[in-house]
Every structure is written in C-alpha cells, then in structure tokens.
Amino acid sequence: MESNAYIELVRHMYAHPRLYGFFDRDEISEALSQFRARIHSILERAEKESRTRDAYLLSSMRFVAKSVHRQNFSFILSENAYMYSQFSEEFAMEAPAELSLEEQIDRGDAVAPLPMSLSPRTIVSRLSPERKRLLFLIIKCAWEVDEELLKKCCGALGLQEQYLFWLIERAKRRSESSMAQITELNTRLHELWIRLRVLELRLESSLLESERDVILSSIKRCRQRYFRLLERRKHRKSIISNECVSQILEIPKGSVDSGLYYLKKNIEAARTLAEYRKLG
C-alpha cells in the first residue's frame, strides 16, 4: 500500500509532467516503474526538510527525469546502431517522402514505400487505422513471419522490406528469453511424447507381470508430467507483449491494446475488407 505522500506526488506529476522535467506522462510511468525505490527514498528525505519540502521534491524529481532521459537516449542509440548496421548507406541516407501514405491514396497514386529515415512513431501516424492494426499484429507475431510473408506484409502496409524487417528483428531481440523458454518447454513435451510411445511399445511386447507393472507405473508418471506441461503451455502469455509492441513503435500501449482488440472483434464478426475500412 502506497503512502498518501507518494500518491499525492504521483497525482501532481501526472497533472504537470513538464514541471518535473518529464516530456510526457509515458515517461512518468517509466520513472515510477524503474525508479520506485529511489522516489520513496526522496520522499523520506523530503519529510525532514519541512521548510523546503516542495522545492526539494521538485529538484529531486527533475534529476529522476534526467535519469529516464539518459536511459532512453542510450537505448535508442544502441537500437539505431543495430538498425543502420543492417542497411546499406543509400537506405540510411534516404530523404523523407513529400506525401504521406493517406495523401497518396486520396490522390489515387500508387502507394510508395515509406522512407527509412522516419521514426516508427511517424510511420504509424501516416498509416490508416486498418494498416496500423495489421502492423501491430505483424510485430506481435514476429517469430512466425518468414521471408515470403514479410514481402506480402510490406506490400499491404506500404513499408520498405528492410524497415519492416528491422522492426521485426527488434521485437525478436526483446523477446529472446521468452522464446527460449517456450522452445525448451516444447522440447520437453516432444521428449515426453516420444518416451510415452516407447513405453507403450515395451508394454505390448512385455511378458512378465512384474515388468509390466513397472512399465505401467512409468507410463502413468510420464503422462502426468506431459499433461502438466501442456497445461503450463496453455496458460502462457504471448511471447511478445503489447507493451513491447508499443515500445518498438514509440506509441502508447493503449493504442496497441485497442487496435488489436478491434482487429480481433472485426475478424470474429467476419467483416469484409470494405466494411472493415469504414471503421477507421
């Protein structure tokens, strides 16, 4: 349970983010998540500064905001270094397009691939609602996208293949540990399934009653482990979370949540593409 002082500080920070050195409310959420212990210690020290409490809180939280900015800058720097290491120089130095995707569609022009030099947030802002939702789904299913599907997605979204490839690779890099866990789980399931088949064959060929009892006991334990692992896999969350998608595209998590929700809702309603486009 958070203290009243902490709740009051958080409420005031969300009401006036720039006063505390934050650019937006997303940075405040990030600070509360990553520097919670530091903020609590700041509040404890502020209680001892009765005369200058508000000024102390203001200056201290601005230092927290600077820590968030430095951390984000370092992360973006490393991501950009990885991105440009994948592309040729002409792609990296490409000039921005004169028309947005929607302007090209309104004029009846062929949809040209969006330039490599734009940030993910800018790319998303230039896409129509149905294409935004498709992009969310593609990144969400990054581990399932192969080369052929990548080309089809680029054609549907109007993105350059290398740019979409970079977004997918970023999603994979952030979810490598989760993918390793699900891979290990699947491997154990396959091993147990093979062991069950072997034990069943041994049971069929066994003649001794004592040996059959031992094999039956082994089959029972093996099946129990197999169904426990199946149940664990059934309740596993998605490898790539909506929060991860929002961080990669530099947009609020709520936009990803609502986009995927409406995409699923419209698919379940079996809407045609023409009907789906009217929803935007």
**What is the share, in percent, of the chain residues with pLDDT greater than 90?**
12
Phi, psi of 90, deg, nearest 5: -65, -30
The answer to whether 22 touches 65, Cβ cutoff 8 Å, is: yes
Contacts of 114 (CB under 8 A, 6+ apart): 97, 101, 123, 126, 158, 159, 160, 163
Determine the number of helices (DSSP H) and then strands (DSSP E) in the chain.
Answer: 15, 0
- Within 13 Å, how many C-alpha atoms sit on residue 121's CB side? 5
Confidence at residue 276, expressed as pLDDT on a 0 to 100 scale: 47
Q: Which residues contact 144 (CB under 8 A, 6 or more apart)?
A: none
Tokens representing 106 are 């309104």
Residue 194, pLDDT score: 92
190 pLDDT above the threshold of 90: yes
The structure tokens listed for 135 are 């992009």
The conformation of residue 109, written as its DSSP 8-state character, comes to -
pTM for this prediction: 0.55
Extended strands (E) in the chain: none
In this structure, what DSSP letter does residue 159 have?
B
Identify the residue whose tokens are 């905001």: 65
Window from 100-104, 143-147, 179-183 with minimum mean pLDDT: 100-104
What are the tokens at 269? 């309603």
pLDDT category of residue 50 using cuts at 50, 70 and 90: low
How sure is the predictor about 79, in pLDDT bands with cuts at 50, 70 and 90?
Answer: low
pLDDT above 60 for 83:
no
Q: How confident is the model at residue 96 (pLDDT cuts 50, 70, 90)?
A: very low
Mean pLDDT of 111-127: 71
Angstrom CA distances, 109 to 99, 102, 106, stand at 10, 10, 8
DSSP symbol at 278:
T
Interacting residues of 225 by C-beta distance below 8 A, sequence separation 6+: 192
Q: Are 167 and 139 in contact (CB under 8 A)?
A: yes
* C-alpha span between 103 and 109 (Å, rounded): 9
Res. 126: pLDDT tops 90? no
Compute the mean pLDDT over every residue in the chain, rounded to the nearest whole number.
80
The per-residue pLDDT for 90 is: 52
Q: pLDDT above 70 covers what percent of the chain?
A: 79
| pLDDT classification of 176: cutoffs 50, 70, 90 | confident
Q: Is 210 a residue whose pLDDT tops 90?
A: no
